[in-house]
Structure 1
Amino acid sequence: MRNLKRLTGLIALSLAACTSVPEPTPMPDDPYYAPVMPEEQIDPAVANGSLFRGQNVNGLYSDIKARNLGDIITVRLQEQTTASKSASTGTSRNTNVDLPTPTLFGRDVTVSGNPISAGINGGSEFSGDSSADQSNQLQGEITVAVIRVLPNGNLIVRGEKWLTLNNGEEYVRLTGIIRPQDVRSNNTIESNRVANARIEYSGTGSLASAQREGWLTRFFNGPIWPF
């Protein structure tokens, strides 16, 4: 009875641990992914006798690539990963022990004229094989904003895109660091050129909830279930 109570208490504690910290539900217009707007500054009047202001004029060969705070850039998602792993293990062991014939007063002990002999033979063998294959692919585009310009000229970008569907919403979030040199002339860059990239693609609503396991199923499939 005492063991049953302990087992019941352990199961209740495990279930409480599985449900005590719910995962936060992503919401649109998260302030963390909001673009940073550059502050409006009034340029000081410079008496240079010209209609053009030298600090804002573009060069003859300047481009339209993002390089300042608040500029936007389109990231082309071209993510594809493939992993494969296999392992094979085999062990064997054999043991043989022969016991000598017992003696009594210098003579071998016999039964019906036959000497007594004994031996021990034992063996064990183990073999195991395992393999795992995983493949992921993500393609699309997301436009992000420059939220910070680093002293070396690199840009920290961040942004999100939400798609509202019939039975829920899907979203793509991206943050990372890019080099202005990697940005193409049409103001786009591939996702594999984004350093320290954090790409999140998921959804909310009834379709996303139907693909998640219930808390009781997660408990029985978790590492603390002993069977």
Structure 2
Amino acid sequence: MKLILKLLPLLLLGACAANQQKPIPDDPYYAPVYPDDGNSGLVPTGSIFEHNRATPLFSDLKAHRVGDIVTIQLVESTQAKKSAANQISKGSDLTVNPLTAAGSNVTINGKSLDLGYSDSMDTKRSAGTDQSNSLSGEISANVIQVLGNGNLVVRGEKWITINNGDEFIRITGIVRPQDITTSNTVQSPRVANARIQYSGTGTFADSQKVGWLSKFFMSDWWPF
């Protein structure tokens, strides 16, 4: 009973960690960014030309302003493999022949005085890990900031509702305008400081999670 009372605070701590807020659609952090209306700073000269909305004659349609949309092609593939093997062998053998004196063996209680010793140790250890992940698809993101060097800070999300659960993809990062193709796309490996999240919510996603009590027994808090 005392042990249970001592572990109760740790169990409650694990329960609080399991009740963290889940990702939800329409998160304000991932809300789309809309450009300015472009009417600010207009000078009443009578001209119908608006510099803020003008497009140079020889420019393309690639994203380059706050509020523009760029399509990010998810081409992620990682593979890691590691193996290690150690072998330690050690042995020793010592033998002392019977001691002799005056041409005969030295004896104690009728037994010859000699010594023999042998020892050996053989230890083998091996370990290996193999992991691979891949993610493909497309997601459109908003340009939320244009940095001083021209790089674009992008952020966006996509939610898909399937039966009783939702799946979502979120991405944030920095894109160079030079890496954006003429079709206004850029591959995810060229997104700097990229943070890509692909997960889900609902019954199917919850069934793959480990309960908070099981997490406690698998955590560093469990002393055994």
TM over 0.5: yes
Q: Secondary structure at the match of 1:186?
A: coil
Other-structure match for 1:52: 49
Match for residue 166 of structure 1?
163
d(CA) in 2 for partners of 1:43, 1:166: 50
How far apart are residue 216 of structure 1 and its match?
2.3
2:184 corresponds to 1:193: no
- Look up the equivalent residue of 1:136 and give its one-letter code: N
Match of 1:129 among 100, 110, 126: 126
> d(CA) in 2 for partners of 1:157 and 1:165?
27
Which 5+ residue runs of structure 1 have no aligned equivalent?
none
Q: Identify the range of structure 1 (180-189 vs 113-122) with the bigger mean alpha-carbon deviation.
A: 113-122
- Equivalent position of 2:12 in the other structure: 16
**Percentage of identical aligned residues:** 45
Aligned to 2:40: 42
- Please give the residue correspondences for 1:1-227 in structure 2 after superposition, counting only pairs within 5 Å: 5=2, 7-9=3-5, 11-22=7-18, 23-40=20-37, 41-45=39-43, 47=45, 51-53=48-50, 56-98=53-95, 110-111=107-108, 113-227=110-224
Unpaired segments ≥5 residues, structure 2: none
Distance 1:166 1:56, change over 3 A: closer
Once the two structures are overlaid, the 10-residue window that deviates more, 57-66 or 112-121, is: 112-121
Partners of 1:52 and 1:39 in 2: CA distance: 17
CA distance in 2, matches of 1:61, 1:224: 64
Matched residue pairs, number? 220
CA 1:8–1:111 in 2, change beyond 3 Å: closer, same or farther? farther
Structure-2 separation of matches of 1:119 and 1:224:
50
Inter-partner Cα distance in structure 1 for 2:56 and 2:119:
87
What secondary structure sits across from 2:17 in the alignment? coil
Supply the distance in 2 between the matched residues of 1:101 and 1:174 (Cα, whole angstroms). 82
- Structure 2 CA distance, aligned partners of 1:85 and 1:13? 38
Deviation sequence 1:21-41 (CA, Å, 0-9, x none): 233200111111112223334
2:158 and 2:211 mapped to 1: Cα distance?
28
Counterparts in 2 of 1:223 and 1:96: CA distance versus 1, 3 Å: farther
CA, structure 1 residues 214+55, in 2 after alignment: closer, same or farther (shift >3 Å)? Answer: closer
Deviations, residues 78-130 of structure 1 (Å, cap 9, x unaligned): 11111111111111222335578789xxx975135432223332222111111
User: By how many angstroms is 1:145 displaced?
Assistant: 0.2
**Distance in 2 separating the partners of 1:65 and 1:178:** 12
Letter in 2 for 1:44: L
TM-score by length of 1: 0.84
TM-score (norm 2): 0.85
CA–CA separation in structure 1 for the residues paired with 2:202 and 2:85? 43
Matched residue type, 1:157 = V
